[in-house]
Amino acid sequence: MTATTDGSPGTPTHRTPSASSTSEPDPVPSGGPEVAAQRAVQRAADHLLARQSPEGWWKGDLETNVTMDAEDLMLRQFLGITDAKVIAASARWIRSQQREDGAWPTFHGGPGDVSATVEAYVALRLAGDAPDEAHMQLAAKWARAEGGVAASRVFTRIWLALFGWWSWDDLPELPPEIIYLPKWMPLNIYSFGCWARQTIVPLTVVGAHRPVRPAPFGIDELHVDPSVPNPRQRKAPITTWDGVFQRVDQLLHLYRRFSPRPLRRTAMNACARWIIERQEADGCWGGIQPPAVYSVIALHLLGYDLDHPVLRAGLESLDRFAVWPEDDVRMIEACQSPVWDTCLAAIALADAGLAPDHPALVKAAEWMLDEQITRPGDWSVQRPQLAPGGWAFEFHNDNYPDIDDTAEVVLALRRVAHPDPARLDSAIDRAVRWNIGMQSKNGAWGAFDADNTSPFPNRLPFCDFGEVIDPPSADVTAHVVEMMAALGLEHDQHTRRGIDWLLSEQEDNGAWFGRWGVNYIYGTGSVVPALAAAGLPASHPAIRRAVAWLESVQNADGGWGEDLRSYSDSEWIGRGHSTASQTAWALLALLAAGERDNDAVTRGVRWLVDTQMEDGSWDEPYFTGTGFPRDFSINYHLYRMVFPLTALGRYVRAEPFGTAGHAMAEKGA
C-alpha cells in the first residue's frame, strides 16, 4: 500500500503459484496459454473468495492522497477533539507518502502538488514536526518554488483561513442564499453534481461565519514574497466567461457587506435543514468524507454541540473512514466502495466458472438485494415521476444511488441462481426502469443525475478543484448499454440511442475517454464489450479502430498501462507502467471484439499470469481509478483482483461476454 518516498514505480514480482483451489472453475483443454491462465484463475478465485465478508460483501481499500488525512487532522484541531494516537498514526502515513524532493503527489509516481504539499506540511506541524527538520524544510522549499500558499486551491486556503493563516477576504464568495435559487435558474444547487452540492451547501455556511481558531504557530515559511504576482489573482478579460464570473465574485463580496441579516440567518437555517435531511443512517453525508467534514463544521458553527445526536453520529461516521494498514499507521479513505466492489467481485467469480448457485454468489446477491434503494433522493428533483430502484456505491447512501453501480449490480445479479428468483427479478425490473428513466436528453447517461450539464458551475472562482457537474460519460453509458443487452433489450430505443451516442464519442485514435477510470484504456475497455454485446459485429469500423488502438499502445512487456497525466497531456494517452487492472480492461475489449487468438491477447494473458503473486493477487501501486479527471485520483485496491480474474476467466472459458448471456437464456428472457 505504501508508495516509495520518491514516487518511483513498484515492480511486480512473479512467485511460485499455489496449487490449492476451492473455487473449482470449469476445466479447460490442456496445452497452450490456457493452462497457465487456468491456474491463475484458480488462485485468484481462491484469494477473492477468502476476502468475502460474512455478510456477503467485498470491500477493498480506497486510497487517494494525503489531503484526506491532513484535513482530518485539521478538523480535529478546529473542533478541539485531538487524540495523540490518531495524530501520530496519521502523521506516519503522511510522511510515508512524501517524495524525495519534499513534495506530496496526488497519485503514486505522480508529480508534486502544491495544495497537497501545503496541507500535508500544516498537518505535520500540527502533529509536532518542527519546521527545521529536514523533511519539513524540503517541503517548504518546494512549496515556495511553486508559488506557496497563494498558488494552492480554494479548498486548501479555506482550511488555512479557519486557523488565521489566510484571509477570508481573499477567498471567493458563495453566499448561503444560493439555497433559495429555483432549479430553473443558473447556479442553483441542483445544477452542481451531487458530490459538489453536498460540499458547497455547508461551505456557504462556513464562509458566511468566517470562523478563525488561531493556530499555535505561523506558516510564513510557506509564503513567497508578497510582491510576486499570484497568477490566480489575475483577472481575465470581461469578454470571457472567466472574466464575467470573476467580476460576479466581486459583486458577491460586496453583497456580503450589505446583505439583510434576517435573510442571511434564514438562509443558513435553510442550509442546516437541507444538510440534516441528507444525513445517512450511519451519520455520514453521501458516503463520502469531504461533505461529511464540512457538514460537521457548518452545523457546529450554527450552534450544534458536539454531543448533539446529529454531530455525534457525523463524527462517528468519520472514524469509519480510517484504515490502519499497520498498528501505528492510519490512512483516511475518501469514500468506501462495498456495493461497487461486491458486484464486480460477483461478476469476476461467475465469469471464472463459479457455479451460479455457489453459496458465495448467493450470499453476495442477498446482500446486494438488501442494499437496493427504494426511496427518492436528490436525483428526483430532475425526475420527480420516476420510481426509485438504484444502488449506491457505499454502505449507507440512500440519497445518491448511481447509474453505474446499478447497471453493474444488475449484471452481477443476472449471473446468480438465487433461491427466490421472483425477488431477484423484481429488483432487476425496478433497477432497469430507474436506469432508463435517468437517461439524459442526448441519449447517454451520467453517474448520478440526468442532464447535469450546466456550463456555469465550473466557471465559478470558488470551484477551482475537480469536476462540479456530472455530464454523461462513455464508461457509464457503456455499462448501461451492456446491462440492457444482457437483458435482451439491445433493440430497445433507449439502448439504440445510447449506442448512437457512444459511436459519436469515439476519438479519432479509436479510443474512448474514461471519466471514472484511467483513462482511454478504461473507456475503451468499457465501450467495446458493450457495443459487441449489443450486437455490433466485430467487423464494425468502430470496433476495428478500437482494436487497432489497443494493439498500438500495448507495452513491450505485454501489459497495458496509462498514467493519470493523460487527462491533461496527450503524450500520456495509452502510456504508462503496465498494471493488472488496465491490462484486464484491454483484454476485455479485445476478447469482446473476437480477438481471442490475437497475439496481443496472448501476450496480455501471459503478463497477467507472470505477474500474479503467490497468494493469487496482483501488486498494483499505480492509481487506475478516477474521482475527478486531472485533480483527484483513486487506487481501488480490489481492482487488481476483480478485473484480471474477469478477463482471465472469459479467456479460459472462451466466453467474451462472461456468463450474463447464459443467465438470460436460463431465465427465458
Q: H helices of 127-163, where?
A: 134-145, 154-162
Number of H helices, E strands in the chain: 23, 5
Contact 107, 564 (CB under 8 A): yes
DSSP per position, 490-541: TTSHHHHHHHHHHHHT--TTS----SSBSSHHHHHHHHHHHHHHTT--TTSH
How far is it, in rounded angstroms, from Cα 157 to Cα 153? 7
How far is it, in rounded angstroms, from Cα 452 to Cα 431? 20
DSSP per position, 277-328: HTB-TTS-BTTBHHHHHHHHHHHHHTT--TTSHHHHHHHHHHHTTEEEEETT
Give me the amino acid identity at 393: F
- Contacts of 312-319 with C-beta under 8 Å, sequence gap 24+, read 312/283, 313/279, 313/282, 313/283, 314/279, 314/283, 314/284, 314/285, 315/81, 315/283, 316/283, 317/280, 317/282, 317/283, 317/284, 317/292, 318/72, 318/75, 318/284, 318/289, 318/292, 318/293
Q: Out of 72, 341, 404, 449, which one is annotated catalytic?
A: 404
Residue 658 region by backbone torsions, left for phi larger than 0, else alpha for psi between -120 and 50, else beta:
left
Burial (Cβ within 10 Å: 0-12, 13-18, ≥19) of residue 214: exposed
Contact 620, 635 (CB under 8 A): yes
Give the residues across from 62 on adjacent strands. 636
How far is it, in rounded angstroms, from Cα 615 to Cα 229? 54
DSSP character for 225? P
Give the residues across from 331 on adjacent strands. 323
Answer positive or negative: Cα dihedral of 360, 362, 363, 367: positive
Cell of 222: 510557506
Residue 632 phi, psi (nearest 5): -140, 115
DSSP character for 633? E
How far is it, in rounded angstroms, from Cα 626 to Cα 636? 10
Answer positive or negative: Cα dihedral of 478, 483, 484, 485: positive
SS3 of residue 31 by DSSP: coil
Active site residue 404: yes
- Give the start-end residues of each E strand in 508-648: 625-628, 632-636
Cell of 109: 509516481
Of the candidates 17, 42, 55, 658, which has an alpha carbon nearest to the alpha carbon of residue 344?
658
Within 10 angstroms of residue 390's Cβ, the number of other Cβ atoms is 27
- Residues marked active site are found at 404
